[in-house]
Chain A
Amino acid sequence: MTRIWRETGFVDNDPWVIETEEVKAGEGQKPLLSLEELVTKADESNEVGFGVLIKPADDVRKLEPYLYRLELVAVAFPAFNDGRAFSHASLLRERLGYTNELRAVGDVLIDQVPHMLRCGIDSFAVTNETAIKRLTEKRLPEIPHYYQPTARDAEPGKSYSWRRQAKPAA
């Protein structure tokens, strides 16, 4: 089963649903729209609170006019080694200035969670057992010394402008 994790812990009652042939958003749930659906719906109404699912081949910059109306952007990792969503996440945060929830969905494994966090992703739809276990134990396989600035805010690193360090735990 899929659980939603944030750094504050696992989240219950998450309303977001990735719709398929079999699964549709029900009572109290909200569908994650495709980029095309989002653009259509947003252009034809004044609604806010949308959720959108960005697929690897999507151009995430198309979200720019609708950012303030988005409650959730999910970026898809259909296979854990399809790294395009790392760039989508980075662009959303750094270029577009998106500040709401940014979620990784798909093949979310524990070893990529630290990379996802650094690219600005702040919630995770996790199905893999080992990932759930390690996240429950708060045991992320991370290296808190960074050699590059990324979307996520970090402490300045030592000696050189490109280095950063993990912020001390809150």
Chain B
Amino acid sequence: MYRYDEFDHAFVAERVAQFRDQVERRLSGELAEDAFKPLRLMNGVYLQLHAYMLRIAIPYGTLNSKQMRMLAHVARTYDRGYGHFTTRQNLQFNWPKLSDMPDVLAELATVEMHAIQTSGNCIRNVTADHFAGAAADEVADPRPYAEILRQWSSVHPEFSFLPRKFKIAVTGAERDRAAIQVHDIGLHLKKNDKGEIGFAVYVGGGQGRTPMIAKLIKDFLPEEDLLSYTTAVMRVYNLHGRRDNKYKARIKILVHETGAEELARQVEVEFAALKDTELKLPEADVAAITAYFAPPALPQRAEGWENLARWKKADPAFSRWVHQNVQPHKNPDYGMVTISLKPIGGIPGDASDSQMDAVADIAEEYAFDEIRVSHEQNLILPHVALADLESVYRGLVAIGLAEANAGLITDIIACPGLDYCALANARSIPVAQEISRRFGNPERQAEIGELKIKISGCINACGHHHVGHIGLLGVEKKGAELYQITLGGSGDEHTSIGEIIGRGFEPEKVTDAIEKIVDTYLGLRNDPSEIFLDAYRRVGPQPFKDALYGDSKAEAA
């Protein structure tokens, strides 16, 4: 993974000093709240219902054990002993004091971490495929480019006061595990016919109030033009994105209102002027950054095969976990492990300080000291020898993070919701917990198969409900919570926005509704290999509407 050099260390230290000065001026009253707010947001500091929230950047979801231990330390020392991993691969603390934050950031800087631009109307954390560098189906590792974009976008003076936030995601395989089509810029790293590296560029995807799928505006952008083309997009957006209405200020609205073709043309005009400037990426720089992401030297561990077979036979729970939570690695002696942060009945995406420390220990001993955060709020150990799976599993059992539910119905994504968030209209976490408990039985989960439930507590869609196979949107109706159900969403390479299927459900009726949907699916699927999403796409919403609302009246809420 990337390692800071002197320049990076100096920058982060200067940033901490800058923020420390800003906090001091705020606390003394010299800096008013409305001038302070965008500055604190650009340092990841939100104000929520109960307290401040600090969002720490985990660049493209990659971190090592030292960093994970620091997160545990911060949780323990400055917060209430836990943190929440998010749908943008970051970490949130829910109870930090503003007066402590400069110290927290100074401590994070010692392990090459920061909270820069995790909020605010600027370029946010560049996310990437959480299996990057390990997946068997990968064409090229997207992370070096995510790192280049991360650096280039850090405290960019022209793009620090955009019309609205800006999110970029990069993927390096045909399977899209980074949901690039619901990002402001989505980059699909690929090779052309000549074997040259470049990107398909998608612009204008997003969820929230008006979910939209990104448009392909460039088939193949050569690698060396990454920064000049991105600058062109950002400049067009900065100048022409709407600033009159917060809900129409994302680039997706600009693409929609201008037309993708016209917007692409405007970008090309700007790009033509930037193409051969100092923004051109020299091959040597790309190679130097890429070198940081070279996979670890993976020794042959052929004994893993035999051992694995034996352990699986001896322990059905372990067998289930391997089947569900371990994915094929480029190297056949290895696997990619998903550490589910969705224990049955637990809070999706949360980890305690002791769990973080234990994961750090496991990563250091068995996983070449590399951990990832997925946008589905789980942790990943991308390089684990099959021969070490049993030890890893036992370690996870000891800390209650061995649920064999990756991608299954209880692997729910939920935003913090009204339990924490000042923007929310309804709670997400208790809904997730109840669904998790109802479907907790492992055999039942296996029978149902892949089913991604995503829950958002408000229209901002931080739970990514629009791209859930089953999406739940919490709304407020007459002072009470109500949940709208959408079906058929997906964030992969065949991105689709879920369809609302009818009037909403009260909190106590939601789980039964999910059960009806699941039973309907089980009743009409071709066979167990036809997953929920595929069955839905085949039959459409009607069977589900009938099951939920009866064939008499099925009106949208």
Do A and B have CB atoms closer than 8 angstroms in the complex? yes
- A residues bordering B, Cβ < 8 Å? 56, 80-84, 86-88, 90-91, 95, 109, 111-112, 114-116, 118-119, 130, 141-150, 157-163
Q: How far is the CA of A146 from the CA of B10 in the complex (A)?
A: 10
User: What chain B residues lie within 8 Å of A56 (beta carbons)?
Assistant: 243
- Cβ contact within 8 Å between A159 and B11: no
4 further contact pairs, Cβ within 8 A, besides A146-B155, A147-B151: A90-B158, A109-B35, A148-B156, A162-B279
- Would you give the shortest CB distance from B147 to chain A, in whole angstroms? 10
Minimum CB distance partner of A118 in chain B: B157
B531 at the interface (CB under 8 A from A): no
User: What chain A residues lie within 8 Å of B162 (beta carbons)?
Assistant: 83
Q: What are 18 residue pairs bridging A and B, where the CB atoms are less than 8 Å apart in the complex? A: A80-B161, A83-B121, A83-B159, A111-B35, A114-B157, A115-B160, A116-B157, A130-B25, A130-B30, A143-B11, A143-B18, A145-B14, A149-B278, A160-B285, A160-B288, A161-B278, A162-B148, A162-B278
Partner of B6, one of A81, A147, A158: A158
Q: How far is the CA of A114 from the CA of B148 in the complex (A)?
A: 23
- Cβ contact within 8 Å between B11 and A145: yes
For A88, A91, A111, A118, the residue with the greatest tally of chain B CB atoms inside 10 Å of its CB is A111
Q: Interface residue count for B (Cβ, 8 Å)?
A: 45
Partner of B156, one of A82, A145, A147, A158: A147
- Cβ contact within 8 Å between B14 and A87: no
- Would you give the shortest CB distance from A79 to chain B, in whole angstroms? 9
- Cβ contact within 8 Å between B18 and A141: yes
Q: How far is the CA of A19 from the CA of B285 in the complex (A)?
A: 50
- Would you give the shortest CB distance from B149 to chain A, in whole angstroms? 10
B22 at the interface (CB under 8 A from A): yes
If A84-B239, A114-B157 touch, whether A162 touches B11 (CB-CB below 8 Å) is: no
Partner of A150, one of B11, B39, B157, B238: B157
- Cβ contact within 8 Å between B21 and A81: no
- Cβ contact within 8 Å between A161 and B281: yes
If A111-B22, A158-B7 touch, whether A82 touches B243 (CB-CB below 8 Å) is: yes
User: What chain B residues lie within 8 Å of A115 (beta carbons)?
Assistant: 157-158, 160
Q: How far is the CA of A146 from the CA of B156 in the complex (A)?
A: 8
Minimum CB distance partner of B9 in chain A: A145
B443 at the interface (CB under 8 A from A): no
- Cβ contact within 8 Å between B31 and A143: no
Minimum CB distance partner of B282 in chain A: A161
If A83-B160, A115-B160, A161-B278 touch, whether A147 touches B22 (CB-CB below 8 Å) is: no
- Cβ contact within 8 Å between A80 and B35: yes
Partner of A149, one of B10, B154, B279: B279
User: What chain A residues lie within 8 Å of B160 (beta carbons)?
Assistant: 83, 86, 115
- Would you give the shortest CB distance from B418 to chain A, in whole angstroms? 28
- Would you give the shortest CB distance from B463 to chain A, in whole angstroms? 27
User: What chain A residues lie within 8 Å of B238 (beta carbons)?
Assistant: 83-84, 86-87
User: What chain B residues lie within 8 Å of A146 (beta carbons)?
Assistant: 155
Residues 158-171 of chain B, each 1 if its beta carbon lies under 8 Å from chain A, else 0:
11111000000000
Q: How far is the CA of A24 from the CA of B457 in the complex (A)?
A: 53
B196 at the interface (CB under 8 A from A): no
Q: How far is the CA of A146 from the CA of B238 in the complex (A)?
A: 20
Q: How far is the CA of A129 from the CA of B405 in the complex (A)?
A: 58
Residues 272-307 of chain B, each 1 if its beta carbon lies under 8 Å from chain A, else 0:
010001111110010011000000000000000000
- Would you give the shortest CB distance from A149 to chain B, in whole angstroms? 5
User: What chain B residues lie within 8 Å of A162 (beta carbons)?
Assistant: 148, 151-152, 227, 278-279, 281, 285
- Cβ contact within 8 Å between B31 and A86: no
If A141-B18, A143-B14 touch, whether A87 touches B156 (CB-CB below 8 Å) is: no
- Cβ contact within 8 Å between B158 and A141: no
The 5 closest A-B pairs by CB, nearest first: A83-B161, A115-B157, A118-B157, A143-B14, A145-B11
If A87-B235, A111-B22, A158-B6 touch, whether A144 touches B14 (CB-CB below 8 Å) is: yes
Q: How far is the CA of A157 from the CA of B151 in the complex (A)?
A: 12
Q: How far is the CA of A119 from the CA of B235 in the complex (A)?
A: 13
Q: How far is the CA of A157 from the CA of B5 in the complex (A)?
A: 12
Residues 10-24 of chain B, each 1 if its beta carbon lies under 8 Å from chain A, else 0:
110011001001100
- Cβ contact within 8 Å between A82 and B161: yes
If A87-B158, A145-B10, A145-B14 touch, whether A81 touches B121 (CB-CB below 8 Å) is: yes
For A115, A118, A150, the residue with the greatest tally of chain B CB atoms inside 10 Å of its CB is A115
User: What chain A residues lie within 8 Å of B38 (beta carbons)?
Assistant: 80-81
User: What chain B residues lie within 8 Å of A144 (beta carbons)?
Assistant: 14
For A80, A143, A146, A150, the residue with the greatest tally of chain B CB atoms inside 10 Å of its CB is A143
- Would you give the shortest CB distance from A169 to chain B, in whole angstroms? 16
Minimum CB distance partner of B14 in chain A: A143
Q: How far is the CA of A84 from the CA of B280 in the complex (A)?
A: 24
- Cβ contact within 8 Å between A81 and B239: no
Q: How far is the CA of A157 from the CA of B278 in the complex (A)?
A: 13
If A83-B160, A159-B288, A160-B285 touch, whether A95 touches B7 (CB-CB below 8 Å) is: no
Q: How far is the CA of A143 from the CA of B116 in the complex (A)?
A: 13
Residues of B12-57 at the interface with A, using a CB-CB cut-off of 8 Å, are: 14-15, 18, 21-22, 25, 30-31, 35, 38-39
Q: How far is the CA of A159 from the CA of B284 in the complex (A)?
A: 10
- Would you give the shortest CB distance from A146 to chain B, in whole angstroms? 8
User: What chain A residues lie within 8 Å of B235 (beta carbons)?
Assistant: 87, 90-91
User: What chain B residues lie within 8 Å of A157 (beta carbons)?
Assistant: 7
User: What chain B residues lie within 8 Å of A150 (beta carbons)?
Assistant: 157-158
- Cβ contact within 8 Å between A86 and B157: yes
Q: How far is the CA of A137 from the CA of B552 in the complex (A)?
A: 75
Q: How far is the CA of A44 from the CA of B238 in the complex (A)?
A: 33
Q: How far is the CA of A152 from the CA of B316 in the complex (A)?
A: 64
- Would you give the shortest CB distance from B297 to chain A, in whole angstroms? 25
Q: How far is the CA of A80 from the CA of B36 in the complex (A)?
A: 11
Q: How far is the CA of A1 from the CA of B379 in the complex (A)?
A: 55
If A130-B31, A144-B14, A162-B279 touch, whether A87 touches B154 (CB-CB below 8 Å) is: no
